[in-house]
Structure 1
Amino acid sequence: MSTSDAEQQTPPAEVTVPGRYELVLPPGWVRIPLRQGTKEALEKVLFSHMGQVPEGIPKDDAMRFRLDMRRQLEKQARAARRNGGLDLYLPVLPRGGIFLMASFIVAEMPIGQANGIPQQAVPQQAVLAELANEDVPGGTAAEVHVAGAPALRRDYRSTPDEEKLASAPQAVQQVALPTRRVDYVIPVPDDPGRWISINFSTPGDGDIDSEFTDVLVELFDAVVGTFKWSYE
């Protein structure tokens, strides 16, 4: 019995690309979608989740506090969306009477693309190796595994530019704090040229090298440890 060449050929298996990702959040943290539903999510956060206010704020000032918080969150969401952001994550319930000053953003990264158009695919391992070898002033970069696949983790400090800060409005100067930052760069499986980043930032307790700040970084790393792709 013989078989023709056509019969022997097996059609290539269809490649399935993940449609979204999933994370397990700590208690008191929420997701703010940045591509659609942002306004509704902010409304829910401000008037449902924030039933409490920090210690020291009179009840009569609770509404003003929520409105000020809303303006800050809207500003942060707009900036994140402009930078390719998909989702913004925030702690919205006080812990021990205080609100944690921390957040992280999941965003698309245009590695291997020009003007949004995929170019010739560069091997993911080569991209990770190049990123790991880049200089990270005041920090470190290392290859890690996220969702069972190679990724990159960068840990560094960010301090305000003193010259630019001197000419900034007083209100900006008052909130410009040194921050501890951790970034993860993750390739999308079976989709060359598509990457996402997870970018964490916190001023901690005012000391970006304190034990408290380290605990917040460890919490973020634990959240990224729950990251997985969804093919639904």
Structure 2
Amino acid sequence: MAYPDRDTFTVRRHELRELLDDVTRSAAQRDAIEIYLATQAELGIPIPASLMVTAEPANPAMTRRLPASLLADAIRDRYQGAAAVSVVTVAAGEAVRCRREELSEDFRELGQGAGRPNTLLEFFLPVPESGAWLVLTFSAPLKELADAQIQMFDAVAATFRWSA
């Protein structure tokens, strides 16, 4: 007598575990402080999103903090017009906002096509009384939902505050 496969999602769970392992390994290589992954679905459709928090340490050669406008200029130069970069004011103070698209090697290996890059939104927030920057990197992998998710990411970043 043959028994039916009681767990039809074994392969999917294995793939998900591998994906989470890859994501956390990649985040650890980037010295992530925290990582948040959305697991919500609406009407049975998953709505993926993530937030990775990292820090850019202070440059010991600099005696004072780099102004946000100079950091914004450096980010613009780095992406050579492929990113929308601005200086914005959020609850935590003046920050640099960078929106861009990227298809990382990790996602290519998972089969994400070149025509479907992730939309990334980064906020560089100055850490009080230091030259360091806290970096919030939001990711919206579904192009069709990216604009709506970016609005949500902006709202989340706008509420960020430092407390003593």
The TM-score, its normalising length taken from structure 1, stands at: 0.58
Looking at structure 1, the residues matched to 10 and 36 of structure 2 have their Cα atoms a distance apart, in angstroms, of 22
Q: Cα distance, 1:175 vs. partner?
A: 2.4
Looking at structure 2, the residues matched to 66 and 229 of structure 1 have their Cα atoms a distance apart, in angstroms, of 38
Q: Match for residue 94 of structure 2?
A: 150
Looking at structure 2, the residues matched to 75 and 67 of structure 1 have their Cα atoms a distance apart, in angstroms, of 12
Q: Match for residue 8 of structure 1?
A: none
Identity across the alignment (%): 27
Cα distance change, pair 59–228 in 1 and its aligned pair in 2 (3 A): farther
* 3-state secondary structure, aligned to 2:154: helix
Q: Match for residue 71 of structure 2?
A: 131
Q: Cα distance, 1:66 vs. partner?
A: 2.9
1:224 is aligned, of 141, 152, 157, to: 157
Say whether 1:79 aligns with 2:18: no
Higher relative contact order (CA 8 A, sep 6+): 1
Q: Cα distance, 1:221 vs. partner?
A: 1.1
* 3-state secondary structure, aligned to 1:184: strand
Cα distance change, pair 229–61 in 1 and its aligned pair in 2 (3 A): farther
Q: Cα distance, 1:173 vs. partner?
A: 6.5
Quick check: 1:157–1:178 contact (8 Å CA) kept in 2? Answer: yes
Looking at structure 2, the residues matched to 200 and 130 of structure 1 have their Cα atoms a distance apart, in angstroms, of 22
Say whether 1:214 aligns with 2:147: yes
Q: Match for residue 61 of structure 2?
A: 119
Alignment of 1:3-152 (within 5 A): 60-112=7-59, 118-125=60-67, 128-133=68-73, 134-135=76-77, 136=79, 137-152=81-96
Q: Cα distance, 1:150 vs. partner?
A: 0.7
Looking at structure 2, the residues matched to 196 and 148 of structure 1 have their Cα atoms a distance apart, in angstroms, of 11
Cα RMSD for the two superposed structures:
2.6
Q: Match for residue 172 of structure 1?
A: 109
Looking at structure 2, the residues matched to 151 and 132 of structure 1 have their Cα atoms a distance apart, in angstroms, of 9
Looking at structure 1, the residues matched to 121 and 58 of structure 2 have their Cα atoms a distance apart, in angstroms, of 19
Q: What per-residue deviation string (whole Å, max 9, x for no partner) do you get for residues 149-201 of structure 1?
A: 111000112246xxxx8xx9xx826224412111100111112x221101112
Quick check: 2:33–2:53 contact (8 Å CA) kept in 1? Answer: yes
Unaligned runs of 5+ residues in structure 2 are none
Q: Cα distance, 1:64 vs. partner?
A: 3.8
Q: What per-residue deviation string (whole Å, max 9, x for no partner) do you get for residues 67-105 of structure 1?
A: 321221121111111112001111113222122222120
